[in-house]
Amino acid sequence: MNYGTIKNYDIANGTGVRVSLFVSGCRHHCKGCFNSETWDFNYGNPYTKEVEAEILEALKPAYIQGFSLLGGEPFEPENQKELAGLLQKIKESYPEKNVWCYTGYLYDVDLIPGGKVYTEYTDKMLACIDTLVDGEFIEAEKDLTLEFRGSRNQRILHLNEMRKTKIIH
């Protein structure tokens, strides 16, 4: 897996001050994408154990509220194994910090068993994500007044709240 950028002090992609990782590789190719260079799976730098350690270290300060995962596309099948491991380490190391993830895939369509990009790692990733912003960016629905998303079709899903209210049979 490659990544394009790590932002150690991001305030645009979730609540509070965050560490953000922009992974490489995306098949959506949304018209008007703000980060189209990351569509290429080979863009940027290789994700290594040293990069993982850098991210974990950047999350240490108390003023860092959490971690945001963007792209490219985190849920491309090629990215899921590495990201599942990273997210699990973040949750183990910093259970008090929240995790946001942005995906063009739909939570209740593409990320479920049988869904377009569902893999053996998808549930592991979702279990570590507190807030998921889903849906492709649609230029015709772009709205600069929206908080934490670019177009009106995108949803902000608070997965922790959804897990708490889910009825288990």
What span, in angstroms and rounded, lies between the C-alpha atoms of 99 and 131?
A: 6
pLDDT in tens, 65-86: 999 999 999 999 999 999 999 9
The per-residue pLDDT for 51 is 98
| Mean pLDDT within 11-33 | 94
| Mean pLDDT within 143-158 | 94
pLDDT in tens, 27-42: 998 888 888 899 999 9
The per-residue pLDDT for 16 is 97
pLDDT tops 50 at residue 167: no
| Mean pLDDT within 15-19 | 97
The per-residue pLDDT for 36 is 87
Reported pTM: 0.94
CA angle 149, 156, 137 (to 5 degrees): 40
pLDDT tops 80 at residue 169: no
Contacts of 105 (CB under 8 A, 6+ apart): 73, 75, 111, 115, 116, 117, 134
